[in-house]
Chains A and B, each alone.
Chain A
Amino acid sequence: MKLSLGPLLYYWSREDTLAFYEQAAAWPLDIVYLGETVCSRRHLLRLPDYLDLAEKLSAAGKEVVLSSQTLIESESDLKALRKLIADGLESGKRPMVEANEWGAVRLLAQAGQPFVAGPTLNTYNPDTLAMLVEMGASRWVPPVEMPREMIQQMLAALPESIALETELFGYGRLPLAFSARCFTARHYNLQKDDCQFRCLDHPDGLVLASREGENFLAINGIQTQSSKVMSLAHRFDELQPAGIDVLRLSPQARNMERVVATFRALADGDIAPAQAPAQLDRFMPAPPCDGYWLGEAGMAYHPAS
């Protein structure tokens, strides 16, 4: 099982972000995804910064992938996307791109470049998955809501000759929804165009609770996440039999190193899945959930028996 570090979904200061990836270079990860997938107003790091980081992380033995923006609205968003693809792929050494909407798929296929089919492409059936492979996908990330059983059905329906890696969102607050509106700006009674970058104050998102105090969701700019942290640590031994090749760990502001270390220990067989929750517990920003994997409400949680 390979471990990947997903794209940073939050907006951190430039120093914090650079320091995070400097440390990540030393973590026992196989793949690191870089790039802004949430909000096109976030500019503290730009493409040249990501390419610098990519070089450092590659030198540290990591495979690097550049993730594309999920919601493309303007011509300047498209310009950034084209640059990401062109600059990212003009030589063999440059990282692959993760396509997070179908415009990126089109551009990558036109360029004849292999790519990662990201979780927001809505790949829900084998026909669509086979088409992505034909267009150049060498890895796919199922929608975060897709249950184990369905992933198995997807893979079983593919011709055996297809070489494709399956990467699952396995740890972190779940990215659930995208909007044209910014809920962080809304919280502060600001217009999105004048948001004063309040996301910087919420490095793990802004928790939204029900009126009886149950933490429910987390606001991250235009993205809405789960408040609970999706974790499949306790079900780690269910992953490989289901066809999962790569497990994605989504960055959080603190203790990410410990999270990575725990999953590495699981992958190496140094700890048993049943032991993992106790180890992870104090490093998580919120309680766990695993419902999607079991085909239930995403917020549900079943400690492994």
Chain B
Amino acid sequence: MSNPPLLELICPAGSLPALKAAVDHGADGVYLGLKDNTNARNFSGLNFDAKSLADGIRYAQAKRRKVLMALNTYPQPATLPRWHKAVDTAASLGVDAIILADPGLMAYARKTHPQLRLHLSVQGSATSYEAVNFYRERFGIQRAVLPRVLSLAQVENVIANTDAEIELFGFGGLCVMVEGRCLLSSYACGDSPNTFGACSPGHAVRWEQTPMGMETRLNGVLIDRYADHEKAGYPTLCKGRFEVQGETYYALEEPTSLNSMEMLPEMARLGIAAIKIEGRQRSPAYVAEVTKVWRAAIDAVKKDRLTFKTQPAWSAALAKVSEGSMNTLGAYYRPWK
């Protein structure tokens, strides 16, 4: 048997150019989805059709990189055949694994394509080893992506009690809610990540310049209002400013993004199989830059985890592409919670 994977760098591919950027800049694998609601980044202009998918798989696998296909929304009765077909497509094109959240779909994949490698998506909301082991025993999942809610000590406990590989998010946008357990978007506008594959979808968004400032709305609900000197952000529902008991603030979450790079030595010690970079909605240039920096960081920590230090040049490069937004260690760092 080969050694278990350690800190594979898994990068987002929202398009063929982004896939090539990730592969060219050192990703061990890319993850991608189809142009519909079978994956959780169902935004117009993103994702792959049959041709670009085949091209992408060929490009990556020729360089011995992996292609993981996300089919990580929840199939519904009327459209279940679409998800089955997507699993069949993934298997026939030879992706290296599919990333699933729904147990029914896992059962289908297991039965129809027993050789196809299965990963449990973060959208499966498995936060304990009992949950991870449910999918492991029942469907033979090889890897679980943990929701961004556990501290590293809690992650360590999961690892100690399962033989599934564990993948963690390393960098990018941060859901403050447990993935797969958030219906805020469908409450406001009818479409949720679970069923529609997108949160705060574009069709429900309105931007309007008013005398009081730039207003962003989701299906009519005012998510935020920006003064002239403020940079208006996309109205992701949980990242707006709201009023609670007379105080207006980011009541759920500051618009920060996750950066866990300084925890890489600890992640290496724990034997984390892979680090996932968020951002299939990002440009190829973004993917290239972030992949390059994380490749260097992971190579450095693998070489010597005890002397590893985040290089100022890496931080500067990441800050530049993150457009100066604030970073957080998220739940990996206990006091955040």
A residues contacting B by CB (< 8 A) are 70-75, 77-78, 81, 101-107, 120, 122, 124-131, 143-145, 150, 153-154, 156-157, 174, 176-183, 186-187, 191-193, 206-214, 216-217, 219, 224, 226, 291-292, 295-299
Contacts and interface: CB of A to CB of B under 8 A. Distances in A.
B104 A177 contact: no
A299 B188 contact: yes
Closest 8 CB pairs of A and B: A127-B104, A103-B130, A180-B149, A128-B104, A153-B77, A124-B74, A298-B187, A103-B131
A128 B138 CA distance: 13
A160 B335 CA distance: 51
Nearest to B137: A106
B209 interface: no
B278 to A, nearest CB: 17
Given A78-B128, A103-B128, A178-B177, 18 more contacts: A72-B127, A73-B149, A73-B154, A102-B135, A106-B137, A122-B194, A124-B76, A125-B105, A127-B107, A129-B104, A143-B183, A176-B183, A176-B184, A179-B176, A191-B337, A211-B222, A217-B187, A226-B187
A72 B157 CA distance: 12
Nearest to A300: B190
Interface in B82-132: 101-105, 107-108, 124-131
Contacts of A157: 77
Contact of A207 (B131, B186, B244): B244
Given A73-B150, A210-B222, A124 B182 contact: no
Interface of B: 74-78, 80, 101-105, 107-108, 124-131, 133-135, 137, 148-150, 154, 157, 176-178, 180-184, 186-190, 192, 194-195, 219, 221-225, 238, 240-245, 247-248, 251-253, 331, 334-337
B322 to A, nearest CB: 21
A293 B303 CA distance: 56
17 contacts: A72-B130, A72-B131, A102-B126, A103-B133, A103-B134, A106-B134, A125-B76, A143-B194, A177-B177, A177-B183, A180-B148, A187-B244, A187-B245, A209-B243, A211-B222, A214-B222, A297-B186
B190 A296 contact: yes
Contact of A208 (B78, B242, B336): B242
Contacts of A216: 188, 221, 242
Given A73-B150, A176-B183, A127 B157 contact: no
Could you say which of A78, A104, A176, A291 has the most chain B C-beta atoms within 10 Å of its C-beta? Answer: A176
B206 to A, nearest CB: 13
A128 B148 CA distance: 25
Contacts of A131: 103-104, 107
A176 B189 CA distance: 13
B192 A125 contact: no
Contact of A105 (B134, B148, B219, B221): B134
A252 B274 CA distance: 44
A53 B181 CA distance: 29
Contacts of B243: 208-211, 213
A122 B101 contact: yes
Contacts of A297: 186-190, 219
Contact of B77 (A71, A145, A154, A182): A154
Given A103-B130, A177-B182, A210-B222, A127 B105 contact: yes
A208 B108 contact: no
Main secondary structure, interface of A, reads mixed
Given A178-B181, A180-B150, A299-B188, A106 B74 contact: no
Contacts of B334: 193
Contacts of B102: 122, 124-125, 128
A154 B150 CA distance: 33
Contacts of A129: 104
B177 A153 contact: no
B140 to A, nearest CB: 15
Given A131-B107, A143-B194, A224-B177, A179 B222 contact: no
A224 B189 CA distance: 16
Contacts of A191: 335, 337
Given A186-B251, A224-B252, A127 B245 contact: no
A179 to B, nearest CB: 5
Given A124-B74, A128-B103, A187-B245, A71 B178 contact: yes
B242 A183 contact: no
Given A127-B107, A206-B245, A211-B242, A217 B134 contact: no
Contacts of A81: 130
Contacts of B125: 101, 120, 122
A179 B177 contact: yes
Interface centre among A101, A126, A183, A193, by most B CB within 10 Å? A101
Contacts of B335: 191, 193
A102 B119 CA distance: 16
A187 B251 contact: yes
A207 B242 CA distance: 10
Nearest to A207: B244
Contacts of A73: 127-128, 149-150, 154
B168 to A, nearest CB: 14
A191 B154 CA distance: 18
B251 A127 contact: no
Given A102-B103, A124-B102, A214-B221, A72 B128 contact: yes
B223 A210 contact: yes
Nearest to A101: B131
A214 B225 CA distance: 14
Nearest to A174: B187
B151 to A, nearest CB: 8
B242 A122 contact: no
